[in-house]
């Protein structure tokens, strides 16, 4: 039962932080909407920062699992790119509350002192994404599906930049063409 309370808090915070933003979501709203006692909330999360940290871990675990799933079902870089872009497009079509990458969304919704407290956590998350992509791309390179002279670390970083950039531009304009452009740009790499 106790774990259930903690999970309810995290699940509701994940939803509210994603839709409303971290700075716009208060602890009292999370407590009310997760239907837990204030004392229970503070038993598990002595501060909002502690809850944010747990939510970033959850967002990252979900993002890494999705990325790993796409990698596991892709035998070429083009297949990986197509599936990645299709996953984002499907997310947009399925959910009226789609705000793009939950990690970027969390970061963009922070400000000031709160923003600085989590600098290292965000850097570590992005490094984890790069490492996972490098592992996948290295496998493709070993199987001669990517040229051997390609710098895998640089490529993984650029893939992240371009994907996050396309998502940000879509959020700014609501224009799906950024994702179509993303596929075209990636095609030029290979």
Predicted pLDDT at 157: 95
Predicted pLDDT at 97: 85
What distance in Å separates the CA atoms of residue 15 and residue 12, rounded to the nearest whole number? 5
Predicted pLDDT at 2: 56
Show me where the domains of the chain are located. 48-189
Nearby residues of 11 by Cβ (< 8 Å), 6 or more positions away: 34
Q: Which two tokens stand for residue 137?
A: 């791309």
Q: Which CATH architecture has domain 48-189?
A: Orthogonal Bundle (1.10)
Predicted pLDDT at 112: 73
What distance in Å separates the CA atoms of residue 13 and residue 28, rounded to the nearest whole number? 11
DSSP state, residue 180: H
Nearest CA among 103, 150, 100 for reference residue 127: 103
Cα 180–Cα 186–Cα 187 angle in degrees, nearest 5? 90
Cα 172–Cα 190–Cα 128 angle in degrees, nearest 5? 60
Cβ–Cβ under 8 Å, residues 122 and 107: yes
Q: Which two tokens stand for residue 27?
A: 């602890």
pTM: 0.90
Cβ–Cβ under 8 Å, residues 101 and 126: no
Q: Which two tokens stand for residue 190?
A: 């290979």
Predicted pLDDT at 114: 66
Residues lower than pLDDT 50 in the chain: 1
């Amino acid at each position: 039962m106790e774990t259930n309370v903690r999970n309810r808090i995290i699940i509701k915070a994940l939803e509210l932080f994603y839709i409303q933003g971290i700075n716009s979501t208060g602890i009292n709203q999370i407590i009310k909407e997760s239907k837990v006692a204030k004392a229970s909330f503070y038993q598990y999360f002595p501060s909002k920062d502690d809850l944010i940290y747990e939510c970033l871990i959850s967002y990252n675990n979900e993002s890494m699992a999705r990325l790993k799933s796409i990698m596991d079902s892709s035998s070429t870089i083009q297949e990986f790119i197509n599936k990645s872009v299709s996953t984002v497009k499907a997310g947009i079509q399925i959910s009226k509350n789609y705000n793009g990458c939950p990690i970027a969304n969390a970061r963009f919704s922070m400000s000031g002192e709160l923003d600085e407290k989590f600098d290292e956590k965000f850097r570590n998350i992005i490094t984890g994404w790069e490492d996972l992509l490098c592992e996948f791309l290295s496998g493709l390179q070993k199987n001669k599906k990517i040229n051997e002279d390609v710098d895998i670390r640089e490529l993984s970083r650029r893939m992240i930049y371009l994907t996050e950039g396309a998502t940000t531009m879509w959020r700014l304009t609501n224009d799906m063409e950024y994702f179509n452009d993303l596929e075209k740009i990636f095609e030029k790499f290979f």
